[in-house]
Amino acid sequence: MMRRFFTLGVTAGLASLVLWAAFINSAQPKGLPKEEVGAVAKAAEGGNEHPFVGVSTKRSFDEALANALGQMDQAMTRQQVPDNMAMWRVVEITGRSGGIAGLDLLQVKIAAQYQARADKKAPSR
């Protein structure tokens, strides 16, 4: 009887952990909140920096930075400027760890400067 309750408890615990992990992955930030965009833009030299955010669920700086740079590359591609070059800097590194869900997130925010076409607005994230 105890074995059945133990097995049931472990199964329910694993199911809730899987659901929580799915929720965390779907709730990952895709960009800066609007109030932070203004703050980053004001702090940027020249005022033409574009913010991007990368997230890693493995607490990997390399993965989070690569994610942010990938977003920057996609934004530059949409600008359709031949041989476009960017200059970027890390603005902030933050993370979340622990809790009942066992969070292990690392977030890297970058600010990038690149040429934007006059007929296309640069992305505001």
Three-class HEC string of 50-111: EEEEEEECCCCHHHHHHHHHHHHHHHHHHHCCCCCCEEEEEEEEEEEEECCCCEEEEEEEEE
Model confidence over 38-80: pLDDT tens digits?
444 444 444 589 999 999 999 999 999 999 999 999 999 998 8
pLDDT of 54: 97
Are the C-beta atoms of residues 54 and 66 closer than 8 Å to each other?
A: yes
Tokens (6 digits) for 64: 């989070």
Q: Which CATH architecture has domain 30-114?
A: 2-Layer Sandwich (3.30)
pLDDT of 109: 98
Nearest residue to 84 via CA among 121, 52, 53, 116: 116
Q: Where are the domains of the chain?
A: 30-114
pLDDT of 91: 97
Model confidence over 2-13: pLDDT tens digits?
555 545 454 555
Looking at the whole model, is its pTM more than 0.85?
Answer: no
How sure is the predictor about 37, in pLDDT bands with cuts at 50, 70 and 90?
Answer: very low
